[in-house]
Amino acid sequence: MPLPGRNFIKHYLRNNPDLYGPFWICMTLVFSVAISGNLSTFLRKMGSPNYHYRPQFHRVTIAAVVIFLYAWLVPVGLWAFLTWRQGTERQMGGYSFLETVCVYGYSLFIFIPTSILWIIPLEPLQWTLIVVAMVVSGSVLVLTFWPVVRDDSKFMAVGTMITIVVLNALLAIGCKLYFFQTPDQTPSPTAPGIYSNLTVQAH
């Protein structure tokens, strides 16, 4: 939980980062999002006529690509940027590469219970959960990285924080819209007529 004055790296990692936790958090989130998305689709379509449930296994692959790209590539980019801004020597308050990756991995934990609760087919509840998850996850990142960038220029410091928050929000909203937003696949009333006319003209 993000608590003001308690830096995640200084108070919890204590300069002993691990990749075990972040890896399994990401892996659990992948299956949580994919399975919950399938269940959400099933609950939404359960009462529809002519609906036959088919598990969409490709969602596991898509979830894995998106989540692992966010949890590994974004920290790499952030670490490289901070290293460039601070110089080649690590200054007091700077973080190592493993610490940066570790923070991002653990910050995703809140999305595991959130994705499970997204199964409940109530749109207002789902968006409320998104906001809560984004605030918790984003606050962990902001409280951790702000001490590193605050001594930079105001433009770069604020821009870095905004980028961190926006990327975190895009991940949450993207997962919601793709995995838990069932598109209306019912054909329009004009579709059969158009198809019939094309068939008649073909004959």
> Tell me, what's the pLDDT at 191?
40
3-state secondary structure 26-79: HHHHHHHHHHHHHHHHHHHHCCCCCCCCCCCCHHHHHHHHHHHHHHHHHHHHHH
Cβ atoms of 150 and 157 within 8 Å: the answer is yes
Query: Is residue 131 helix, strand or coil?
Result: helix
Q: Across the chain, what does the average pLDDT equal?
A: 78
Looking at per-residue confidence, does 11 or 88 come out higher? 11
Which amino acid is it at 100?
A: T
Give me the residue spans of the domains in the chain: 8-202
pLDDT at 195 over 70: no
Closest CA to 102 of 19, 159, 198: 19
Query: Can you give the pTM of this predicted structure?
Result: 0.76
How far is it, in rounded angstroms, from Cα 201 to Cα 203? 5
User: What digits encode the pLDDT tens for the residues 51-110?
Assistant: 666 767 777 888 889 999 999 899 999 888 888 877 644 443 577 888 888 889 989 999
SS3 84: helix
CB 164 within 8 A of CB 141: yes
Average of per-residue pLDDT across 195-199? 41
